[in-house]
Amino acid sequence: MRLLGAILAGGEARRFGSDKALAPVGDRAMIDHVADRLRPQVAALVVVGRDHGAFTRIYDAPAPGLGPLGALLGALRHAAEGGYHAVLSAPCDMPLLPPDLADRLRPAPAYVAQHPVVGLWPVEAAPLLATILGSDNRAVRAFADRCGARAVGIDGLININRPGDLERLGPIGHSTVER
């Protein structure tokens, strides 16, 4: 199964108070830690919602401002055009993803029960997602339920929403590969 990794990074980070994707975690930006975790698990890696380094930028679909589902639809459409089978998605604010995340989520569709934006989504789910984005219920769990995704429990994932959450993360550096 050919996977496209998608880092969702278009949020406004209101609770964080600044650009959390670029927040320093150890010796690097938080988004770079996420990229390090996803890169070995996928055939290619993109960033959705912003420019970041050498990564291909993908735009939310059908337009910005639709939250993580708009980002995911943009990634799924890009994956379909590129001949990928599925998208492994993760937000830019979860720097300690497991190195076997894709394996834990196989087969698609599946998502992390505690953090549903982290998931493995088949490209065939794009039309359903487009329909859901046209409705009033734009929750990731609603999409997951409608596409028959399995919830997979993965303990120990830390989502950084506020500056104080960085303290819970503890020290990590560029050489950190597994946790």
The model's pLDDT over 61-103, given as tens digits with 9 standing for 90+, comes to: 999 989 999 999 999 999 999 999 999 999 999 999 999 999 9
**What average pLDDT is seen over the chain?**
89
On whether 75 is known to bind a ligand per the annotation, the reply is no
On whether 139 is known to bind a ligand per the annotation, the reply is no
Neighbours of 86 (CB within 10 A): 26
On whether 142 is known to bind a ligand per the annotation, the reply is no
Domain spans of the chain, in order of start: 3-169
Q: Note the pTM of the prediction, 2 decimals.
A: 0.91
For 159, the token pair is 């989502």
On whether 9 is known to bind a ligand per the annotation, the reply is yes
Report the Cα–Cα distance between both ends of the chain, in Å, rounded.
Answer: 26
Give the CB-side neighbour count of residue 33, counting CA atoms within 13 A: 32
On whether 20 is known to bind a ligand per the annotation, the reply is yes
Tell me if residue 152 falls in helix, strand or coil. strand
The CATH class for the domain spanning 3-169 reads alpha beta
Is the CA virtual torsion 136, 113, 156, 96 positive or negative?
negative
Report the pLDDT value the prediction gives residue 16, as an integer from 0 to 100.
58
Instruction: Write the pLDDT tens digit of every residue in 92-146.
Output: 999 999 999 999 999 999 999 999 999 999 999 999 999 999 888 889 999 999 9
Q: How confident is the model at residue 10 (pLDDT cuts 50, 70, 90)?
A: confident
Q: How confident is the model at residue 173 (pLDDT cuts 50, 70, 90)?
A: very low
- Quote the CA–CA distance of 172 and 179 in Å, as a whole number: 10
Beta bridge partners of 87: 4, 121
pLDDT tops 70 at residue 12: no
Report the pLDDT value the prediction gives residue 38, as an integer from 0 to 100.
98
